[in-house]
Amino acid sequence: MRLAYRIRLRQDPLAYIEELSRASTAGVMPLPWGGWCVRDTALAQSLLRDPEYHTGGSVFFGGLLPERGAQMELGRAVRGLMRAGVPRYRAALPEAVTALPTASRWPDAGTRLVHRCLQDVLLHPGTPASIHELMRQAAHEGVAVRSAYVWQRARAELVRARLVAAVTEEAHRRRRQPAREPRDMLDAVLAVCPRARVPDRTVAALHLMMFRAIMAPVSASLAWSVLLACLHHTRTVPWPWSVDHVVREALRHRPVPWMLGRTLPRAVELGGTVFPPGELLSVCPYLLHHDERHWDDPDSFRPGRWAESGGHGPYVPFGTGPFSCAGAAVAHTLLTESLTALTQHARLAVTGADTRAVMSEGNVPRPFTLHRTPAPPAHPTGRR
């Protein structure tokens, strides 16, 4: 059984979870690898929203920052910094897009693009060049987005350890000369982590955690947006949809987060079953986004649905309720800005595409090639 589910997960994780859900009639189904998945849409929304399931801290921060107040403060601080960094991200995009070869290999090329435009927000330009270089390696070599291959993961471990050591030293240096205003994400983390309670090494681990929490879903969602839009519009004229609708639909059709987990703070009854405290219950955004009772034609990638007033069901690519993503709005902006830059004065096409996801820490697209061909603007300057 163990091997069988591993193979199915590797082949097509989203088809597999759908198959498991179809085979079950219970509101909450057991998962072959342990824990439970709340497959009933109404129960799933109640698990994500109801305060009674959120009395502890969020599993997102693991043991690094156990206190809920500190978790929320960190989320707000990083969100504020990212929001302030959007103009810098936007300004860096044209050069990063121009640097792409005519045929680029995605999703890796997307991860590099996102990192190149975000690097000064993650660590300001005055940070020692050796740490910038380690961050670059972390973005390019499987630390930011975990590789599906074991040998690459072993190499990434080395880079990760060196990066944490270097950022620990940098945190120590900065604590001796604190900045008046946060210049980058490390300053933002330091601002909410008192020296007496949070050691330098934990600060570095939190910085790395946020780096990955931003880089992995933004770059995978960008890759899905490019891939799905290109597969559904193969003509040479510009896409008939707004980039906003493409991003929304990609986040619905292929939500990157695989499962949103809640560890039960006490015994609860859900869907007719009583679960003991400490049990892990999860919600699969993909199942909610493909529920035929709530969405019109859920299995079609159709950005145009976002221009229609009805036919929309529960939409949780960023979660919902007390533990939902602190950076949802800013993430959406980064994605639409990136897609605008990629499509501006260019035609996009993909080859070698496969819409099955590969399981990393979430649903990541399989490698494909993006062909970006410069094209004259549809309306020459001075004419509309």
- For ligand HEM, the closer of residues 331 and 342 by Cβ is 331
- The contacts of residue 242 (CB under 8 Å, 6+ apart) are 303
Sign of the dihedral through C-alpha 218, 219, 223, 224: negative
- For ligand HEM, the closer of residues 301 and 323 by Cβ is 323
Among 13, 110, 182, 217, binds ligand HEM (CB under 6 A): 217
- For ligand HEM, the closer of residues 213 and 230 by Cβ is 213
Residues β-bridged to residue 370: 104, 350
Stretch of 96-104, 152-160, 323-331, 348-356 lying at the interface with ligand HEM (CB under 6 A): 323-331
- For ligand HEM, the closer of residues 29 and 247 by Cβ is 247
Among 142, 298, 319, 365, binds ligand HEM (CB under 6 A): 319
CA distance 170 to 123: 10
250 forms part of the interface with ligand HEM (CB under 6 A): no
x/- mask, ligand HEM, residues 324-363, rule CB under 6 A, reads xxxx--xx--------------------------------
x/- mask, ligand HEM, residues 76-105, rule CB under 6 A, reads --xx--x-----------------------
71 forms part of the interface with ligand HEM (CB under 6 A): yes
CA distance 380 to 338: 23
Long-range pairs of 61-64 with CB within 8 A, sequence gap ≥ 24 = 61/206, 61/209, 62/209, 64/202, 64/205, 64/206, 64/209
- For the bound state, the minimum distance from the C-beta of residue 58 to ligand HEM, rounded and expressed in Å, comes to 3
The residue to which tokens 């947006």 are assigned: 225
The residue to which tokens 């946020």 are assigned: 210
CA distance 187 to 316: 30
Residue 119 to residues 134, 185, 296, Cα–Cα distance (Å): 11, 10, 40
208 forms part of the interface with ligand HEM (CB under 6 A): no
- The contacts of residue 144 (CB under 8 Å, 6+ apart) are 111, 115, 138, 211, 212, 215, 216, 219
323 forms part of the interface with ligand HEM (CB under 6 A): yes
What tokens were used for 231?
A: 């597969």
- For the bound state, the minimum distance from the C-beta of residue 143 to ligand HEM, rounded and expressed in Å, comes to 17
214 forms part of the interface with ligand HEM (CB under 6 A): yes
109 forms part of the interface with ligand HEM (CB under 6 A): no
Number of residues that bind ligand HEM (CB under 6 A): 27
- For ligand HEM, the closer of residues 252 and 305 by Cβ is 252
259-318 positions binding ligand HEM, by CB under 6 A: 260, 317-318
Half-sphere exposure of 252 (CA within 13 A, CB side): 26
- For the bound state, the minimum distance from the C-beta of residue 314 to ligand HEM, rounded and expressed in Å, comes to 13
10-49 positions binding ligand HEM, by CB under 6 A: 48
- For ligand HEM, the closer of residues 58 and 119 by Cβ is 58
- For ligand HEM, the closer of residues 12 and 73 by Cβ is 73
- For ligand HEM, the closer of residues 2 and 117 by Cβ is 117
117 forms part of the interface with ligand HEM (CB under 6 A): no
Q: What are phi and psi of 354, to 5 degrees?
A: -145, 125
Residue 378: Cβ within 10 Å count: 9
Q: Quick check: 144 and 114 in contact, CB under 8 A? A: no
Distance of CA 244 to the CA centre of its chain: 17
- For ligand HEM, the closer of residues 198 and 330 by Cβ is 330
Distance of CA 205 to the CA centre of its chain: 18
Residues that bind ligand HEM (CB under 6 A): 48, 58, 60, 71-72, 75, 78-79, 82, 213-214, 217-218, 221, 256-257, 260, 317-319, 323-327, 330-331
